[in-house]
Amino acid sequence: MKTEVKIINNVEESVDDIKRAAECIKSGGTVVFPTETVYGLGADALNENAVKKIFIAKGRPQDNPLIIHVASKNVEKYAQDVPKVAEKLMDKFWPGPLTILFNKKPIVPDITSAGLSTIGIRMPEDKLALKLIEFSETAIAAPSANISGRPSPTDIYRCIEDLNEKVDFIIGGNESNVGLESTIIDCTVTPPCVLRPGGITLEMLREVDPEVYIDAAIMKKPSEDIKPKAPGMKYRHYAPKAKVSIVEGSLEKSVEKINEIVQNYIEKGFQVGIMATEETKNLYKQGNIISLGSRNNIEEVAKNLFETLRKFDDSAVDYIISEAFTEDGMGLAIMNRLRKAAGFDIIKA
């Protein structure tokens, strides 16, 4: 398949290109586009055949539902009912990195919701994404624009790396500002339940409804007893080629432990990557050290996480050892993605 790639530097000046991408969506094609969370691989959410192409291009399991992206807060076309709390959440956080689960209307085909009776809807903030949805005159179903299981792409070149010749169109240019996927909140239950932590933090959600709680399965290794409510959360995910481990404990002890582990691997002839921070990067003695940013700017750490995992893949390390982070605010989403990338391999310092 030939993929048309269009790099956009200025959205206002590129309306014609965005219109062509929208034509592609309208005619049942697949378009990779930027959002503020991560890049998405989109198709017309109401066109069964088009949605099927998303699953094929990514190699995504059929039982993993897609989020649909809209350009306004009028979700009645797709949602059976809109609870008061969902209205408040939309008012406060849309456009933005929050996906809300509603009971779905029959207009949304089963393939899009993977057979579930609910549908996740999000209005992204990215200007190009909003224009693309508007011009497409439909909702765009879009999971992250990576091969299934790989770290999500936060810039267009990573999308090209994964999906060139697998999709019809790749459009974009901006780096994703948030860098982690949207928060998913289920508003079909009372009180609402967070199924995936992300750009909108638990603390922010509780300002709207103090009762909001978190699916207990989010931070645990999926098992027979612990099944996450978001089907996608049960898969190995966000994983680079190297084996990832996380070292948890006080920062001082973690650094010491990481130095010891790295030394061990290097003696055995392996290449090792260290996910460090500005505060610690000079404390490591050897290995391929990349700083995710400052611990005082957890949003920056979130933004750099997936790209750093991919950079380690570029340098073909065998092992990646990461420091751990706070679980407050955005830290919860960071630790959720990190634990999954590590297949829950956690070493106590």
Given the rule CB under 6 A, which residues bind ligand AMP? 64-65, 67, 101, 113, 116, 118-120, 143-144, 181, 184, 195-196, 229-233
Q: How far is the CB of 44 from ligand AMP (least distance, A)?
A: 16
**109 or 231: CB nearest ligand AMP:** 231
- First-to-final CA distance of the chain: 49
Q: Count Cβ atoms below 10 Å from residue 310 Cβ, excluding itself.
A: 22
**143 or 198: CB nearest Mg ion:** 143
Q: What is the DSSP letter of 277?
A: -
d(CA 330, CA 321): 21
Type of residue found at 73: K
Q: Would the annotation count 326 as a binding residue?
A: no
Q: Cα 291 from chain centroid?
A: 20
When CB distances are held under 5 to 8 angstroms depending on the partner's kind, the choice from Mg ion, ligand AMP, none that residue 101 binds is: ligand AMP
d(CA 10, CA 82): 35
Residue 249: left (phi > 0), alpha (psi -120 to 50), or beta?
left
- Which H/E stretch holds residue 291? strand 288-291
When CB distances are held under 5 to 8 angstroms depending on the partner's kind, the choice from ligand AMP, Mg ion, none that residue 231 binds is: ligand AMP
d(CA 335, CA 339): 6
Q: How far is the CB of 289 from Mg ion (least distance, A)?
A: 27
When CB distances are held under 5 to 8 angstroms depending on the partner's kind, the choice from ligand AMP, Mg ion, none that residue 65 binds is: ligand AMP
d(CA 325, CA 346): 13
Query: Going by C-beta distance under 8 Å and a sequence separation of 6 or more, which residues neighbour residue 337?
Result: 180, 237, 238, 305, 306
Q: How far is the CB of 329 from ligand AMP (least distance, A)?
A: 20
Q: Contact at 8 Å (CB) between 235 and 62?
A: no
Q: Would the annotation count 182 as a binding residue?
A: yes
Q: Would the annotation count 122 as a binding residue?
A: yes
**169 or 306: CB nearest Mg ion:** 306
When CB distances are held under 5 to 8 angstroms depending on the partner's kind, the choice from Mg ion, ligand AMP, none that residue 113 binds is: ligand AMP
When CB distances are held under 5 to 8 angstroms depending on the partner's kind, the choice from Mg ion, ligand AMP, none that residue 288 binds is: none
Q: Would the annotation count 291 as a binding residue?
A: no
Q: Would the annotation count 322 as a binding residue?
A: no
Q: How far is the CB of 345 from ligand AMP (least distance, A)?
A: 21
Q: Would the annotation count 146 as a binding residue?
A: no
What's the CA angle centered on 182, arms 65 and 161, to 5 degrees? 75
By CB under 5 A, name the binding residues for Mg ion. Answer: 143-144
> Coil, strand or helix: which one is 279?
coil
**179 or 232: CB nearest ligand AMP:** 232
Q: Which residues are annotated as a binding site?
A: 37, 60, 64, 69, 118, 122, 142, 144, 152, 182, 196, 238
Q: Which residues are annotated as a binding site for L-threonine?
A: 37, 69, 122, 142, 182
